[in-house]
A and B are shown apart, each in its own frame.
Chain A
Amino acid sequence: MSRRAEPSERPDSLPRFHRLSKIEPILYLAPFLVGVIVFTLYPVIHVVFISLMEDYNYLTRAFSRFGLGNYISVLGNKYFIQALSNTFIYVLLVIPIATCIALAAANMLNQKLKLTGLFQTAYFLPMVTSVTAVGLAWRFMFNERIGIVNFLLSLVGIDPVGWLTKAEWSMPALVIYGIWNILPFTIILLLAGLQSVNPMFYTAARVDGSKGARIFFKITVPLLAPTIMLTTIVNTISAFKVFNELFPLFKGQAGPFYNLYTVVYFIYEQMSGKPRLGRAASAAMVLFAVILALTLIQLLIQRRWRGTGKG
């Protein structure tokens, strides 16, 4: 393509003597930047201020004073503490399980078998469908009296479980649905990682006499480590925002006994009814802090793996 040897010679800009050229970039950028500034950049800055404004009224934009009042009240709120702990439990259950299942599924999908297209369609379907709509199907499947899940359990002699009605079973139900939901995305990322592994490594292993499971754990998993790490972090960030899943399962409540608050659900609740945006904002700041930390870890990993060079 273009000769790298003469970088200084490559024309990189058009003549400045074009009449339009000064304002032209602005015209091209304006539609894009207006949206970004109004609905992303400004809100990011603004939300910090809101979180510090006590008794903020979003209609009059009045507030009583600047301070950490919102943070104190949020961090002292038992529902927020519950939300934090629920969210962490949810993430800690969903991510490892989903990653392991996805790894197995991706590895199977990566074999040169027939009908891969059909299998892929089946595995990836939940990714494109509404969390609300499929959640309703799960709610019906989890039904204590007539649900298919309890029917299947009854076949192995387990008594009906109150998945959506008992406090102790509501988290497992949410987690199962969460795993099922996050699987397609995880499988796709891991499959892409697998497909980028140089087949040379497998040939070498096979020549050395290694077999299936051994190859998987000694070759595939280590080579895939960076992909697994990144997938885990991306998934963790999205699992931290668990919210939508609650609505179909628990009729819009945070669990059968208000026992399943999550961070985003808390934020949502502060915004609905009689909005308390200051509190919502400070809760959002806490969420952001967690996501920021995860993102920084992600960047660090990406840099390290880029530095050492991948396979």
Chain B
Amino acid sequence: MKVELSRVTKRFGGTVAVDGFTATLADGQLIALLGPSGCGKSTLLNLLAGILPATGGRIFFDGDDVTAWPPERRGVGLVFQNYALYPHMTVAQNISFPLEIKKVPKPERARMIREIASMVHVEDLLDRRPDALSGGQQQRVAIARALVKRPRLLLLDEPLSNLDARLRLEMREEIRRVQRETGVTTVFVTHDQEEAMSISDQIVLMRDGRLQQCAPAQTLYHNPVNRFAAEFLGNPPINQIPGTVSGNRFTLKNGGAEIPLPFDAGLADRPAILAVRAESFQLDEDGVPCVIADMFEIGKEEMASLTIGGESVRAYLPLEAPTRKGDTVRVRLKPRGVFLFDGKTGDRL
């Protein structure tokens, strides 16, 4: 199902949680609603579910204006961070609850429960109560309950944040798999950029209730529209150096160095922020000299903390054995992962 949001706004008293939000979510995709906490992403999810009424704007499901529809009419499935399983019901009863309300006949119900339970691998847990399940199992049941009534849209609110690191990896693959198998349009809220990047077809990046960028993960990473998008994605965080850009040269604000850019910015004497991903440095005999302040090994890669003209940056560099702290190396920037932003507005230059 295609979801369109047009100038959707939600106010709570004086505070604006969602502000003129416009976006189109394509059918059958897994969409991550990403942003720092407090950015309005959960509110947006609740607006999609119909739990909250919108203050302004319109929401369309496959062209139908559902803005005024109550939750039960929208045909959405909802999964919560804390799973929200009914504690006094068994797994089977939990999954069965939405079907009971839809008055699905009993034999049909049993068949649907078995089917969905085996899809999310909880078929052996049907007689247990939620308190006898692990976090991951509870989440599987919650997903089964949300999917069993065949929703047009599946909404997951921070589905992984109550799980430990290992389970989180496992469950996000599961969400991806189940979404592929069912083909249901899925929106999941997260504040974890890595989570968003690893499984989503499309990321909707939000800040302060506003849409920042809506694009596939790779586009977002390699072509952020603004400083916030560049900052929010990527680990380690993107390096940022204030200075002035002129053509294809960037002069540090403190005057400590001049860095050649891999492209011509087409600007003259423009103050800007140079943002460089850690993997966008490479050693080069003709490059800018910098001092190795520190070195770490992260997995199989070498990470170095460099000082360029008084600014410190972090870079992945293939440093050879004799190199040590205090040595000077020469680096240049790769064409990919280097951006210029306006220091005040954060807009891409």
Contact = CB atoms under 8 A, between A and B. Distances in A.
A and B touch in the complex (CB under 8 A): yes
Interface of A: 1-3, 5-6, 8-11, 13-18
Contacts of B38: 5-6, 8-9
Nearest to A13: B52
B167 interface: no
Contact of B37 (A6, A15, A17): A6
B243 interface: no
Contacts of A18: 70
Contacts of B43: 8-9, 11
B51 A11 contact: yes
A13 B71 CA distance: 12
B82 interface: yes
Given A11-B52, A17-B68, A17-B70, A5 B37 contact: yes
Given A2-B82, A8-B43, A9-B43, 4 more contacts: A1-B82, A6-B42, A17-B68, A17-B69
Contact of A15 (B12, B42, B53, B158): B53
Contacts of B196: none
Contacts of A16: 53
**Top 5 A-B pairs ranked by shortest CB distance?**
A15-B53, A9-B42, A9-B43, A11-B46, A11-B51
B15 interface: yes
Q: Main SS of chain B's interface residues?
A: loop
B51 A8 contact: no
Interface string B8-23: 0000100101000000
B40 interface: yes
Most chain-A Cβ atoms within 10 A of its Cβ — which of B17, B38, B46, B69?
B38
A13 B52 CA distance: 7
Nearest to B82: A1
B271 interface: no
A9 B46 CA distance: 9
Interface residues of B, number: 20
Given A1-B82, A8-B12, A9-B17, A15 B50 contact: yes
Contacts of A3: 37, 81, 158
Interface SS, A side: loop
Nearest to A19: B70
Interface string B25-48: 000000000000110101100100
A15 B17 contact: no
Contacts of A6: 37-38, 42
Given A5-B37, A6-B38, A17 B17 contact: no
A11 B54 CA distance: 12
A6 B18 CA distance: 13
A15 B70 contact: yes
A5 B37 CA distance: 7
5 contacts: A8-B12, A8-B17, A11-B52, A15-B71, A18-B70
B68 A14 contact: no
Contacts of A11: 43, 46, 51-52
Nearest to B80: A2
B40 A9 contact: yes
A17 B52 CA distance: 10
A295 B52 CA distance: 41
Nearest to A10: B42
A310 B69 CA distance: 49
Residue among A6, A14, A18 with the most chain B CB within 10 A? Answer: A6
A280 B196 CA distance: 73
Given A8-B17, A9-B38, A17 B82 contact: no
A5 B42 CA distance: 12
Nearest to B12: A8
Contacts of B12: 8
A18 B70 CA distance: 7
B19 to A, nearest CB: 13
Nearest to B53: A15
A81 to B, nearest CB: 57
Give the residue among A2, A3, A18 with the most B Cβ atoms within 10 A. Answer: A3
A6 B15 CA distance: 12
B16 to A, nearest CB: 9
A18 B38 CA distance: 28
Contacts of A1: 82
A131 B53 CA distance: 56
Contacts of A14: 51
A24 to B, nearest CB: 13
A15 B55 CA distance: 11
B195 to A, nearest CB: 16
B342 to A, nearest CB: 29
A3 B68 CA distance: 27
Contacts of B71: 15
A241 to B, nearest CB: 40
A11 B45 CA distance: 10
A2 B157 CA distance: 11
A47 to B, nearest CB: 41
A10 B42 CA distance: 8
B161 to A, nearest CB: 9
A64 to B, nearest CB: 55
A240 B315 CA distance: 79
Contacts of B51: 11, 14-15
A3 B53 CA distance: 21
Contacts of B40: 9
A6 B81 CA distance: 14
Contacts of B81: 2-3
A39 to B, nearest CB: 34
Contacts of A2: 81-82
Nearest to B158: A3
Contacts of A9: 17, 38, 40, 42-43, 46
Q: Find the residue from A5, A11, A16 having the highest chain B CB count within 10 A.
A: A11
A285 to B, nearest CB: 43
Interface string B224-244: 000000000000000000000
Contacts of B46: 9, 11
Interface string B208-232: 0000000000000000000000000
